[in-house]
Amino acid sequence: MASSAAHHATGWAAGVIAAAIVAHSRAGGPYHVWVALAFAAGVAGSTAPDWLEVAWWSRTRRLWITHRTATHWGVAWIALLVAAYHWLGHYPVAAALFGFACGGVMHLLADWPNPLGVPWIAARHSLNWWNSGRCDLLVVGAAWVGAWFAVTRFGGVGWHAGYWLRGLGLG
């Protein structure tokens, strides 16, 4: 995997993207509570493919799913993302689900360039750009460029990006 620091840093970006899109879709709910939830779920989702495969409830914490198989399956994450997007504004839980899926997809993107690859559809595919942990800055930078794009494009509607970014210590 990309380093866990990189997954966290890209996860925050995924949360920002999810929050901006939820806000834009006017599914923000009272006091933008679903926007905040989408953000938190994005952060949680960005590490989910790695913690879902660990038996964290057991003392030994062994892997109960082989690393980078089922929990890193691109089809499932993207299907969840698309479904949750369609549910935005219809079901309150959709915002959190959407955020979680944003985080998951972001995780796969961060894992993709290193040699182990990601099983997007069936077989694992790797971009083979660099080894795990290398070029984290590039991955994180790309994620935040995406986040910046999402905020400037979607963030204007009923949501004050500046306020949130200042809260994150970024603005």
By C-alpha distance, which of 93, 154, 170, 131 is closest to 6? 131
Q: Is 130 exposed, middle or buried (0-12, 13-18, 19+ CB in 10 A)?
A: middle
Which of the stretches 21-29, 48-56, 90-98, 139-147 binds Zn ion when contact is defined by CB under 5 A? 48-56
Cβ–Cβ under 8 Å, residues 66 and 54: no
Question: Minimum distance from CB of 77 to Zn ion (Å)?
Answer: 11
Which of the stretches 32-40, 54-62, 105-113, 159-167 binds Zn ion when contact is defined by CB under 5 A? 105-113
Task: Indicate the residue among 54 and 165 with the shorter CB distance to Zn ion.
Answer: 54
Judged by CB under 5 A, the residue of 1, 17, 20, 44 near Zn ion is: 1
Question: Minimum distance from CB of 50 to Zn ion (Å)?
Answer: 5
Amino acid identity at 55: A
Backbone angles phi, psi at 63, to 5 degrees: -80, 130
Judged by CB under 5 A, the residue of 14, 23, 50, 85 near Zn ion is: 50
Residues with Cβ within 8 Å of 52's Cβ and at least 6 positions away in sequence, in order, are 65, 71
Establish if 111 lies at the interface with Zn ion (CB under 5 A): yes
> Which residue number has the CB closest to Zn ion?
1
Establish if 53 lies at the interface with Zn ion (CB under 5 A): no
d(CA 119, CA 136): 21
Task: Indicate the residue among 14 and 21 with the shorter CB distance to Zn ion.
Answer: 14
Question: Minimum distance from CB of 122 to Zn ion (Å)?
Answer: 18
Binding residues for Zn ion, rule CB under 5 A, total: 4
Task: Indicate the residue among 50 and 136 with the shorter CB distance to Zn ion.
Answer: 50
Q: 82 to 101, contacts with Zn ion by CB under 5 A?
A: none
By C-alpha distance, which of 171, 61, 76 is closest to 120? 76
Backbone angles phi, psi at 125, to 5 degrees: -130, 135
Question: Which residues of the shown chain bind Zn ion in the complex (CB under 5 A)?
Answer: 1, 49-50, 111
